[in-house]
């Protein structure tokens, strides 16, 4: 079922690296939504079943050849599916888009985060101590990251060194580090490492989709949000309050499900071989 | 000079990096969906001419560089320095051999060049794209041999050596593209 969640709301995400764009409405401070996730989860709790949303989202200070502060996200949830069933659906969607628009077969593959990280950088991203990651980052020529958090060090290393080595076509990286779980469940993998059931799909090296086998434990989610808030305070970032309505809903019980968000502009970029997101937007930010 | 934040980085902006003035060539915004944003920046070190890549955290700021490009008339050289004059104020600037660099091969008195000033002193000199210079030394010309594609080296009044067609002679004035050091044709009298 298609749903149409609000774009404007009184709360927004607490993610340390995602900034919401503020607005004034009904005499109070509000935010343009960075993702439909929280509203969709409230619908899932109320029994909506499998749902999708195709709509605009907004993120502050994100502009470049792959970013526009307003962009289109396709987000959907599948009840009782795990992340691998959902990965298959993402793959089918992209394969289908290439078949019908370009009439070509796109290669599709999957790889474990720990494996591709270790192949390229020679260290286990889940087990390596933070100090090892920090000195690796410095050694690689990024001295400003020398005292960064574990998640930020890993993201920098992954983006700069692992991402460029990913195969052509659609590559889905799964089992992200536990510190980057966001709203995914975590589990102990075969090697006894705590990893998250989060995946990201890259289309010819371009980050396309981010998905989770969703965390349903309201208490754990609340702790993660509180951790975000604390990190925001430490980093002197704008204070974001935790979405109490989502928390209430989660405490009633989110059904077991997997969810994913896919950047539609990015898919169009790849399908039309555009070098910049501006080529697939009639009115990119520069013209607004 | 003020500071510039990464979101103000544009190609052509002049900033200080490790003590040297640099010109930004390219600025790429990178951000993993859930991750920290950063900028991959390509810069040219204006002292050495070298191109380097540097990664900044988004929001980081750097000091602007007091660098100014100005059209000036080339006057003369005295062995140590090359002298240039601002056309409006007649103010003269002396440039070192390092600053003049390869441009010295194309400098003809009274030609207008672009001089890049850093903290008020010439940092580099860009000659005009096309210059007209006299041949001072070359093998004797083969008159009537204009159809054949051959060429020979010719030394110009400024000291540069360029390949020219066989029919040209000492004393001829030719037009040269200074970017490629290629012969463009005979200068029109």
Q: Is residue A190 part of a domain?
A: no
CB contact under 8 A, B30 and A63: no
Looking at domain B67-126, what is its CATH homologous superfamily?
Nucleic acid-binding proteins (2.40.50.140)
* Domain that residue A43 falls in: 8-107+202-287
Q: Do domains B67-126 and B130-186 have the same CATH topology?
A: yes
Give the model's pLDDT for residue B79: 87
Give the model's pLDDT for residue B187: 87
Give the model's pLDDT for residue B135: 95
Give the model's pLDDT for residue B48: 86
Minimal Cβ distance to A159: which of B7, B30, B58? B30
Give the model's pLDDT for residue B189: 63
Q: Is residue A57 part of a domain?
A: yes
What is the CATH classification number for the domain harbouring A14? 3.30.930.10
Give the count of Cβ contacts less than 8 A between chain A and B.
55
Give the model's pLDDT for residue B150: 82
Using an 8 Å Cβ cutoff, are B24 and B10 in contact?
yes
Mean pLDDT, residues A8-20 taken together: 96
Distance from CA of A27 to the nearest CA of B (A): 30
Minimal Cβ distance to A210: which of B7, B33, B59? B33
Chain B residues within 8 A of A142 when measuring between CB atoms: 55
Q: Is residue A98 part of a domain?
A: yes
Q: Helix (H, G, I), strand (E, B), or coil: what is residue A92?
A: helix
Minimal Cβ distance to B34: which of A63, A148, A182? A182
CB contact under 8 A, B29 and A62: yes
Provide the token pair at B60.
């980081």
Residues with Cβ < 8 Å from B110, sequence gap 6 or more?
Answer: B73, B74, B75
Q: Is residue A182 part of a domain?
A: no
CB contact under 8 A, B36 and A152: yes
Provide the token pair at B139.
């093998």
Interface membership of B56 toward A (CB under 8 Å): yes
Q: What residue in B sits closest to A182 (Cα-Cα)?
A: B34
**pLDDT band (50, 70, 90) for residue A39:** very high
Q: What residue in A sits closest to B59 (Cα-Cα)?
A: A61
pTM of the predicted structure, to 2 decimals: 0.83
Give the model's pLDDT for residue B151: 87
Picking from A5, A10, A13, the residue whose alpha carbon sits closest to that of residue A30 is A10
Separation of alpha carbons A8 and B3, rounded Å: 35
Q: Is residue A78 part of a domain?
A: yes
Q: Collect the ranges in chain B with pLDDT lower than 50.
A: none
Give the model's pLDDT for residue B143: 64
Interface membership of B18 toward A (CB under 8 Å): no
Q: Is residue A193 part of a domain?
A: no
Provide the token pair at A152.
């930020």
Chain A residues within 8 A of B55 when measuring between CB atoms: 141-142, 160
- Assign domain B3-63 to its CATH architecture: Roll (2.30)
Give the model's pLDDT for residue B142: 66
Give the model's pLDDT for residue A221: 97
Separation of alpha carbons A260 and A36, rounded Å: 11
Mean pLDDT, residues A104-121 taken together: 97
Please tell me what DSSP assigns to residue B9.
-
Residue A50 has pLDDT above 60, yes or no: yes
Interface membership of B121 toward A (CB under 8 Å): no
Mean pLDDT, residues A241-253 taken together: 97
Mean pLDDT, residues A201-216 taken together: 97
Interface membership of B10 toward A (CB under 8 Å): no
Q: Provide the residue count of chain B.
A: 189
Chain A residues within 8 A of B29 when measuring between CB atoms: 62-67
Looking at domain B130-186, what is its CATH homologous superfamily?
Nucleic acid-binding proteins (2.40.50.140)
**pLDDT band (50, 70, 90) for residue A13:** very high
Distance from CA of B18 to the nearest CA of A (A): 13
What is the count of structural domains for chain A?
Answer: 1
Where in chain B are the domains? 3-63, 67-126, 130-186
């Amino acid at each position: 079922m298609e749903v149409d969640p609000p774009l404007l709301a009184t709360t927004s995400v607490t993610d340390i690296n995602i900034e919401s764009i503020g607005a004034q409405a009904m005499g109070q401070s509000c935010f343009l939504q960075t993702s439909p996730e929280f509203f969709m989860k409230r619908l899932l709790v109320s029994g909506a079943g499998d749902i999708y949303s195709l709509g605009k989202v907004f993120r502050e200070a994100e502009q470049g050849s792959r970013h526009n502060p307003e962009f289109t996200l396709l987000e959907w949830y599948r009840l009782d599916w795990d992340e691998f069933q959902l990965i298959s659906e993402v793959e089918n969607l992209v394969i289908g888009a290439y078949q019908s628009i370009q009439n070509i077969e796109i290669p599709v593959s999957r790889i474990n985060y720990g494996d591709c990280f270790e192949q390229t950088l020679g260290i286990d991203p889940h087990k390596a101590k933070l100090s090892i990651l920090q000195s690796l980052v410095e050694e690689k020529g990024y001295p400003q990251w020398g005292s960064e958090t574990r998640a930020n060090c890993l993201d920098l290393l992954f983006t700069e060194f692992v991402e460029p080595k990913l195969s052509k076509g659609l590559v889905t990286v799964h089992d992200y580090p536990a510190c980057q779980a966001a709203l995914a469940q975590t589990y102990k993998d075969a090697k006894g490492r705590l990893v998250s059931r989060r995946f990201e799909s890259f289309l010819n090296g371009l980050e396309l989709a981010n998905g989770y086998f969703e965390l349903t434990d309201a208490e754990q989610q609340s702790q993660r949000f509180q951790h975000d808030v604390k990190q925001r305070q430490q980093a002197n970032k704008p204070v974001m309050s935790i979405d109490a309505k989502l928390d209430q809903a989660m405490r009633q019980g989110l059904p077991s499900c997997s969810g994913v968000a896919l950047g539609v502009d990015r898919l169009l970029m790849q399908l039309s071989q555009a070098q910049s997101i501006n080529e697939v937007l009639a009115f990119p930010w520069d013209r607004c | 000079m003020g500071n510039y934040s990464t979101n103000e980085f544009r190609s052509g902006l002049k900033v200080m990096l490790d003590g040297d003035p640099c010109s930004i060539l390219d600025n790429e915004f990178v951000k993993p969906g859930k991750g920290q944003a950063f900028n991959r920046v390509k810069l040219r070190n204006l002292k050495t001419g070298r191109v380097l890549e540097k990664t900044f955290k988004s929001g980081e700021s750097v000091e602007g560089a007091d660098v100014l490009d100005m059209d000036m008339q080339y006057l003369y050289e005295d062995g140590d320095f090359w002298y240039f004059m601002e056309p409006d104020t007649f103010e003269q600037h002396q440039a070192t051999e390092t600053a003049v660099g390869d441009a010295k091969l194309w400098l003809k008195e009274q030609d207008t060049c672009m001089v890049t000033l850093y903290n008020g002193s010439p940092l580099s000199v860009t000659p005009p794209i096309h210059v007209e210079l006299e041949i001072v030394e070359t093998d004797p010309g083969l008159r009537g041999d204009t159809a054949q594609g051959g060429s020979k080296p010719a030394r110009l009044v400024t000291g540069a050596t360029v390949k020219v067609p066989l029919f040209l002679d000492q004393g001829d004035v030719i037009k040269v593209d200074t970017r490629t050091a290629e012969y463009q044709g005979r200068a029109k009298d």
